[in-house]
């Protein structure tokens, strides 16, 4: 059975339009309050951008775009996904066995979890949208990715999607349930401000800078190869060349000067000929500065620290800081948004998922080791200053609470007694535990009881009589 056959069979499980309308008469149907103003009639929305062009001009031709997309998506793919249950006290309890975890570990026959996440995030970064299709409406066992150019979205007059149509020559419809938002199609997008139903490629804002980088690299390559476009002209003084002479001169230049292997060869001219520069040199065009601006603009679009892609601006110190910035400002927010959207779409397809959540496990990310150390030092300092309890500190550091009740009390000195008991004014006048000098008592407590106390008069030997 092919993948398409699985999709065709699963679409029969989704109620038809008339059935949905009959359900809506008995149940509250979700709709946009201003949907009738925005969508007077049924409208079909395809992607307004030729997304293949963005992939070709971006990740395929531009090394900076490829570095940003590959770096972000590869790091996102390395993040483990945990399924946790939120208890009443807000504590997260990890669930280690569930069909959802089995599905995410092997989403389909061709991809592992890491490949699945990496390619979905890369699709989003390249074209601004990410589409997934579940092979079944309930309890799916496979998740497949679909190219955004193949998807059209039909919006109802209520302001909510009506159905997704996937395909070019042959098409398959996946209906959107307006009652609970259930659909076999997962749609994660970078919302287009003008057309909020579809996504916009991130590179759309920097398409001119991408062209600057690509055209600049092509011009530099042509310059190095001494390409067909001349950088100058031969001027003949007080004479006019015949047609045959022009042809012979062109052939001579092509044979003796053109090509990377002949770059830099001297040009021998007659006394009546002169070489005239017509093009701009790299220095005149400020070539490297323009490429540098282009790379910085692309990195700004993807929130990727430029120092990680520029060897000239990289040192061990600022690269470590840049990696922290990359994870905190780019990778973690993007991955959390994508995972939250996936959770809202996928968990309702399984029974018994109330109180469950999908979260990313960032505990073992090497780039965040400095952040974790700073957090540990901050929490430890608050505990040492008696501003938080022991259990509050352990909870912030993701440790289990202590079983006894002392972990919920702030401890003070004088034997580390609870603060509330100290405030009650416990009478310690008859307590002889620390009577006298506490240091002396501690020293005596550590001594061997069999060893005589030299300070005791009873243990002092009588002095020998003088002769």
- Position 14 pLDDT exceeds 50: no
Domain end: 360, 385, 414, which one? 360
For residue 304, with 0-12 CB atoms within 10 Å meaning exposed, 13-18 middle and 19 or more buried, which class applies?
buried
Task: Give yes or no: residues 257 and 186 share one domain.
Answer: no
**Measured distance CA(98)–CA(203) in Å, rounded:** 38
- The answer to whether residue 270 is domain-embedded is yes
Task: Give yes or no: residues 406 and 352 share one domain.
Answer: no
Task: Give yes or no: residues 240 and 333 share one domain.
Answer: no
Task: Give yes or no: residues 381 and 356 share one domain.
Answer: no
- Position 119 pLDDT exceeds 60: yes
pLDDT digits (tens, 9 = 90+) for 270-312: 666 766 665 555 554 566 677 788 888 888 989 999 888 877 6
- The answer to whether residue 404 is domain-embedded is yes
User: Structural domain of residue 254, as residue ranges?
Assistant: 232-278
Task: Give yes or no: residues 45 and 64 share one domain.
Answer: yes
- Position 169 pLDDT exceeds 60: yes
Task: Give yes or no: residues 149 and 192 share one domain.
Answer: yes
Lowest mean pLDDT among 120-124, 134-138, 395-399, 403-407: 403-407
Is pTM beyond 0.85? Reply is no
Dump the DSSP string for 194-256. S-TTSB--GGGTTHHHHHHHHHHHHHHHHHHTT-SS-SEEEEETT----HHHHHHHHHHHHHH
- The answer to whether residue 210 is domain-embedded is no
Percentage of residues in the chain having pLDDT higher than 70: 63
- The answer to whether residue 266 is domain-embedded is yes
**Measured distance CA(175)–CA(400) in Å, rounded:** 45
Task: Give yes or no: residues 255 and 124 share one domain.
Answer: no
- The answer to whether residue 123 is domain-embedded is yes
| Mean pLDDT of the 3-25 span | 41
Q: What pLDDT, on the 0 to 100 scale, is given for residue 260? A: 52
Residue 451 or residue 91, greater confidence: 91
**Measured distance CA(54)–CA(275) in Å, rounded:** 41
Task: Give yes or no: residues 240 and 346 share one domain.
Answer: no
- The answer to whether residue 80 is domain-embedded is yes
User: How many domains does the chain contain in total?
Assistant: 3
115-124, 180-189, 217-226, 344-353: which is most confident? 115-124
- The answer to whether residue 17 is domain-embedded is yes
Task: Give yes or no: residues 350 and 402 share one domain.
Answer: no
Q: Are 210 and 203 in contact (CB under 8 A)?
A: yes
Q: What pLDDT, on the 0 to 100 scale, is given for residue 25? A: 41
Task: Give yes or no: residues 160 and 253 share one domain.
Answer: no
Q: What pLDDT, on the 0 to 100 scale, is given for residue 347? A: 92
Task: Give yes or no: residues 252 and 119 share one domain.
Answer: no
Task: Give yes or no: residues 43 and 120 share one domain.
Answer: yes
Q: Return left, alpha or beta for 172; rule: phi > 0 is left, psi -120 to 50 is alpha, else beta.
A: beta
- The answer to whether residue 464 is domain-embedded is no
């Amino acid at each position: 059975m092919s993948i398409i056959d699985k999709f065709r069979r699963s679409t029969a499980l989704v109620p038809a339009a008339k059935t949905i309308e009959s359900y809506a008469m008995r149940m509250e149907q979700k709709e946009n309050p201003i949907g009738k103003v925005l969508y007077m009639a049924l409208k079909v929305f395809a992607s307004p951008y030729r997304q293949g062009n963005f992939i070709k001009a971006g990740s395929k031709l531009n090394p900076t775009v490829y570095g940003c997309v590959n770096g972000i998506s590869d790091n996102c793919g390395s993040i483990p996904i945990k399924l946790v249950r939120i208890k009443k006290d807000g504590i997260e309890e990890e669930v280690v066995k569930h069909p959802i975890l089995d599905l995410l570990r092997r989403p389909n026959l061709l991809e592992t979890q890491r490949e699945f996440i990496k390619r979905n995030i890369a699709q989003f970064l390249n074209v601004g949208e990410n589409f997934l299709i579940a092979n079944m409406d309930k309890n799916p066992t496979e998740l497949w990715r679909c190219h955004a150019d193949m998807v059209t979205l039909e919006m109802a007059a209520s302001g909510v999607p009506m159905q997704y149509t996937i395909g070019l020559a042959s098409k398959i419809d996946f209906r959107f349930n307006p009652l609970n938002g259930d659909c076999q199609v997962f749609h994660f997008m970078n919302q287009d401000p003008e057309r909020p139903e579809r996504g916009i490629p991130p590179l759309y804002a920097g398409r001119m800078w991408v062209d600057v980088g690509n055209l600049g690299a092509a011009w530099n390559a042509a310059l190095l190869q001494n390409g067909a476009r001349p950088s100058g002209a031969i001027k003949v003084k007080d004479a006019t060349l015949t047609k045959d002479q022009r042809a012979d001169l062109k052939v001579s230049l092509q044979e003796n000067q053109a090509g990377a292997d002949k770059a830099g060869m001297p040009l021998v001219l007659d006394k009546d000929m002169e070489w005239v520069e017509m093009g701009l040199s790299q220095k005149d065009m400020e070539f490297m500065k323009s490429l540098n601006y282009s790379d910085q603009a692309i990195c700004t679009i993807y929130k990727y620290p430029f120092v990680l892609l520029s060897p000239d601006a990289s040192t061990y110190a600022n690269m470590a800081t840049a990696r922290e910035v990359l994870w905190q400002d780019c990778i973690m927010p993007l991955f959390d948004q994508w995972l939250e959207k996936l959770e809202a779409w996928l968990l309702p397809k399984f029974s018994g998922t109330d109180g469950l959540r999908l979260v990313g496990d960032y505990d073992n990310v090497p780039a965040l080791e400095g952040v974790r150390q700073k957090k540990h030092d901050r929490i430890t300092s608050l505990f040492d200053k008696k501003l938080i309890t022991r259990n509050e500190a352990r909870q912030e550091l993701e440790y289990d609470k202590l079983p006894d009740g002392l972990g919920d009390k702030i401890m003070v000195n004088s034997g580390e007694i609870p603060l509330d008991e100290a405030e009650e004014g416990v009478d310690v006048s008859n307590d002889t535990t620390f009577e006298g000098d506490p240091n002396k008592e501690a020293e005596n407590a550590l001594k061997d009881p069999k060893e005589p106390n030299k300070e005791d008069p009873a243990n002092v030997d009588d002095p020998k009589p003088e002769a």
